[in-house]
Structure 1
Amino acid sequence: MSGVWPPPPGEQPQQGAGAPSSPPPPGQPVQNQPAWAQPLPQPGWAQPLPPAHKPGAIPLRPLGLGDMLDGAFRLVRFNPGATVGASVLVAAVAMALPLVVTGAITATGDSLEGFGASLEDPNWEPGNSEIVGMVAAFGSLLLGTVLQAFGTILVSGMISHVAHAAAIGKKLTLGQAWAATHGNRWRLIGLAVLFLLLYLVMFALAAVPVVALAIMVDNPVPAILVGVLMFLLLIVASIFVSVRFYLLAIPALMLEHTGVVGAVRRAWQLSARQFWRLLGIWLLTAIIAGFASQIVGFPISLVSSIVGIAVPDLYFLATIAGTAISTVVAAAIATPFTGAVTNLQYLDQRIRKESYEVELMEQAGLLSR
């Protein structure tokens, strides 16, 4: 034993003949400080996120999952007119078509009245007028669904501008958000059509070997096995294309004033080495939005079913009406929320890879150019 003991906790170590050492001048490092007196390094996982300016709905730093979900709710509450209002307006206009067509057919003729008889008579067969009425009603519903899909694409473009403005503390009205999409609307539609065609081609390529085996081989087992395999491959390929090429393409197209090809290229760049992060947040957002839409839409579907059973002659109209109203309610919940999270993912990737928060601070007036 050397007889030298470390000082008690809270006391400074003695130097030389026991005289207390004078502190170094301000700004100068402490010389010959023993190892046990050095501050312990903090592990990386224990360090909190750096402080960040928050002029709007999100902090201007790399975003975590909680930041995105909270930011999406804040964005919708901060600007309900240009998010929920736009989604409801588009869905209501599109779903008004099947409602008007079905209501007119039900009120002016008997082409749909006999449809309720199928509930009481399983052997009931529709006549020509019933077939025409059903084709018109379902055809108008299909057309309304297509119109709503294209309208939702335009609303997604509007939400890109709304999210960017909310990030820097600004609020866009419905008219301002719509005006901000000027010049990019047809590009946005073209982007959606391009990927729709791509998905159709992928589906056709997956179906070719299954159909070929079903025709050439008498035993259906090989065709079924190959069909299951191609179906799984189709799902994987569709998810990969959606995450790497399409998910961030809409915000890039709207905010960077690029073309369709340029937006796809930017989506590929921003999603590099971020596939699982983007996919996980995307799936979680879809689950939350879908669950909320089902909870709200279930009572509507239940009421329409009860009306259709209680009044068989109105069964068809009640079914179409329930579908239309449920679609509008789902659009009011799902479209703004999922669109907001997607655009926050876009901002997050630009902040992580391009220090985009500096430009956002300049736009918010926190930094001088």
Structure 2
Amino acid sequence: MALRPLSLGDIYDAAFRIIRFNPKATVGSAVLVAAVAMLIPLLLTGILTFTTGLTYDATAEPSSDLTIDTADLAGFIASFGALAFGSVLQAIGLIFVTGMVAHVTAAAAIGKKLSLGEAWAATRGKRLRLVGLSFLLGLMLTVAVTVYVVLWIVVALTLPTAAIVAWGLVTVPAFVAGLWWFWIRVYYLPVPALMLEGVGITGAIGRGYRLTAGQFWRTFGIALLTVLLVNIAGGILSMPISVGGQLGVLAVGPDKALLLLVGTQALASVVSTAFVAPFSAAVASLQYLDQRIRKEAYDVELMRQAGVLR
């Protein structure tokens, strides 16, 4: 990355360069986490398929007969429940990936390359705090949404229609704006701050808040564009696999259809995660470094670490 204030093009170019420069510690870590998590539903569905004769007939016509084989129902619940559980494990694992990518990005800024093991070792002493930070931020968001939903219920039950409409017209845009504010000022930069500075959970949130002060719209614009880009790219990467799985279900017999469906969904998740997670984490880490460069002349410190300045 250029050791100066970064433009949008600089940030995206640096993110791609970091991934190409160190694919094992970026893409490799994301793939490893996603593959291990998605292996759980795949193995469970395979075991059920070959031991209980679990079947899924995608070509069957809808019927008014509501009877269903209990074993098949239990198998469906177990398979898709395991897929959901695997997704939760994947999300937890990706928390650690974002922490690793923050270290990889900081090292790449001064021309150093961390191996996968070195990137993981760099998070030592911060892993529990990283999980705690993620839990706290998620809890704050959940509480805010819950309070707003409860207020809506109270308003809907007690006020006349005209007042309910007025409430919605005023509070819905305000609530969405509040979520955007929370995302950028509170949620977006604490992970790299926690990983790269000697701060705790609340200190990391405070650092993210201070670094985005006066830079909300710029940070928001880059973050929102990144979300849109990675979701589109992730969808493009995973779509052929998902569509192929749907078509394959129609081609194979009912005894292997559910295994194929779960397998392709798991593979699609791994392929999408391989790009989405490291690129998003790298962009956020670069924005953190960019804000420190702009506000704290951190580029001088990076130049010293890189050996450019003495």
Q: Same fold (TM over 0.5)?
A: yes
State the alpha-carbon separation in 2 of the partners of residues 229 and 193 from structure 1: 30
Corresponding position of 1:249: 190
Corresponding position of 2:133: 191
**How far is 1:222 from its partner?**
6.4
State the alpha-carbon separation in 2 of the partners of residues 263 and 291 from structure 1: 30
Is 1:321 aligned to residue 263 of structure 2?
yes
Per-residue CA shift, 1:328-350, capped at 9, x if unaligned? 00111111111111111001000
**How far is 1:322 from its partner?**
1.9
Corresponding position of 1:81: 24
Structure 2 counterpart of 1:139, which letter?
Answer: G
Corresponding position of 2:35: 92
TM-aligned CA distance change 1:148 to 1:269, over 3 Å: same
Q: Does the 8 Å contact 1:116/1:312 carry over to 2?
A: yes
Structure 2 counterpart of 1:76, which letter?
Answer: I
Bigger relative CO (Cα 8 Å, ≥ 6 apart): 2
**How far is 1:141 from its partner?**
1.1
| Larger-gyration structure (1/2) | 1
Structure 1 unaligned blocks of 5 or more:
1-57
**How far is 1:169 from its partner?**
0.4
Corresponding position of 1:342: 284
Structure 2 counterpart of 1:107, which letter?
Answer: F
Number of residues paired by the alignment?
308
**SS of 1:156 mapped into structure 2:** helix
Is 1:263 aligned to residue 204 of structure 2?
yes
**How far is 1:143 from its partner?**
1.0
State the alpha-carbon separation in 2 of the partners of residues 288 and 330 from structure 1: 12
State the alpha-carbon separation in 2 of the partners of residues 107 and 124 from structure 1: 27
**Where do residues 1-369 of structure 1 align in structure 2 (5 Å cutoff)?**
58-110=1-53, 112-113=54-55, 115-116=56-57, 119-123=60-64, 125=66, 126-216=68-158, 226=167, 230-311=171-252, 313=254, 314-368=256-310
Per-residue CA shift, 1:163-193, capped at 9, x if unaligned? 0000000000000000000000010000110
Q: Does the 8 Å contact 2:59/2:250 carry over to 1?
A: no
TM-aligned CA distance change 1:198 to 1:104, over 3 Å: same
The percent identity for this pair of structures is 45
**SS of 1:116 mapped into structure 2:** coil
**How far is 1:127 from its partner?**
2.9
TM-score by length of 2: 0.93
Q: Does the 8 Å contact 1:290/1:334 carry over to 2?
A: yes
**How far is 1:135 from its partner?**
1.6
**How far is 1:117 from its partner?**
6.2
Q: Does the 8 Å contact 1:206/1:231 carry over to 2?
A: no
**SS of 1:367 mapped into structure 2:** coil
Let me know the Cα RMSD of the aligned residues. Answer: 2.0
Structure 2 unaligned blocks of 5 or more:
none
- Structure having the higher helix fraction is 2
Greater shift in the superposed pair: 333-342 or 228-237: 228-237
State the alpha-carbon separation in 2 of the partners of residues 133 and 100 from structure 1: 13
Corresponding position of 1:24: none
